[in-house]
Amino acid sequence: MRSVSRLNKFVGSGLLAAMVFAFFGCGNFNAPMQTFASGSDLAKWITSLYIQITIWDSIVLAIVLIVLALAIFVFSTREGDPTEPHEHESDLMLELAWTIAPALILMFITIPTVRTIMRTQPSKWPANAITVQVHAHQWWWEFDYPGLHIATGDEVHIPINRVIHFELYSDDIIHSFWIPALGGKRDVIPGQVNQITLIPSVTGEFYGQCAEFCGLSHANMRFRMVVDTADGFKQWVAAQQAPPVEPQEAAAKNGEKIFKNAPCAICHTVRGISGFSKQYDYGFRGPDLTHFGSRGTLAGSIFDNNPKNLAMWIQDPEKVKPGARMPTLGLRGTDLHDLVAYLESLK
């Protein structure tokens, strides 16, 4: 029997169903980390390349499927067909065609690919670009604005329609800097400074993620990138440059004392209260907490920043984030409560 066997039919329809499901999965355009949002020039170039290649691939797929269908349903020998299929020794035209056609298709794919690679690796950027130094740590991101004297952890603000130049440093092992909606990704390598330059074109909050396996909490190494309006960015910069807020309530005041006397101050900077000298950085330095209360998330952006999560974090960092490089310091009860009140007051 030449008819399609039952097993083949079963496998075939299974594959078809899987493809349909996968296709619907791609349709969720509200996902915070999807790459089709194209929130910057860089992301647009990459998405456009992706679409071009997908179009060429789809044309090839369609041609192959049509030829395959013709071979199976039109040109195959039927049962009881007396004529033998005729043999082709060689056919010059056919051979030329299937040599030249793939070469052309490869050319259509190669030229835009190489052009996009060159475009996304500029060696020059305008003098008024905003430089952000990104330091990757196991397992959190530090953002320094050398021109603005600001340092944050896990959260980076940039203004819309300005050239943003990220310099990528690693303080330990290889990480990869990736903000799916704004383009990327680029390796962050110890001893080498890589860079990414982009112009954000929409405001909003976007999630970034380390995209290179870097140890136990690799999957917990996220960050938030907030694209502000020009005015919003100015306000944010002014607020971050301001000295830390003086605690007002009794609990927060007591919390400040605890912070100064506990080992927290060895690893964390709160400007004017505790300083961390990069000279003594042995790999366990923690994020700058000067304006910690103004941030939306904590610990590699895996928890929302609220008193409950903060208390949970300080009580036992390892328990909620495997391998976390912040020690458990045995704080509980009123001490913990007051310390949390202090940190959250640092708006």
Report which of 296, 117, 149, 133 is spatially closest to residue 223, judged by C-alpha positions.
296
Which one of 49, 182, 221, 264 is in contact with Cu ion (CB under 5 A)? 221
Residue 168 interacting with ligand HEC (CB under 6 A)? no
Q: Which stretch binds ligand HEC (CB under 6 A): 12-20, 100-108, 186-194, 286-294?
A: 286-294
The 144-183 contact track toward Cu ion, x by CB under 5 A, reads -------------------------------x--------
Q: Does 186 bind ligand HEC (CB under 6 A)?
A: no
Q: Does 214 bind ligand HEC (CB under 6 A)?
A: no
Interface with ligand HEC, residue 144, by CB under 6 A? no
- Closest to ligand HEC by CB, 38 vs 152, is 152
Shortest separation between residue 223's beta carbon and Cu ion, angstroms: 11
Q: Does 153 bind ligand HEC (CB under 6 A)?
A: yes
210 touching ligand HEC, by CB under 6 A: no
Query: Could you tell me how far CA 30 lies from the centroid of its own chain?
Result: 16
Instruction: Report, in Å, the least distance between residue 144 CB and Cu ion.
Output: 18
Smallest distance from ligand HEC to CB 213, Å: 16
Name which position in 154, 228, 256, 338 contacts ligand HEC (CB under 6 A).
154
Measured in degrees and rounded to the nearest 5, phi and psi for residue 270 equal -125, 110
CB of 170 to Cu ion, least distance (A): 8
- Residues in binding contact with ligand HEC, number by CB under 6 A: 30
Length of the chain in terms of residues written: 347
State the number of binding residues for Cu ion (CB under 5 A): 4
Tokens representing residue 345 in the block: 């007051």
Instruction: Note whether 141 binds ligand HEC by CB under 6 A.
Output: no
Would you tell me which residues interact with Cu ion (CB under 5 A)?
A: 175, 210, 214, 221
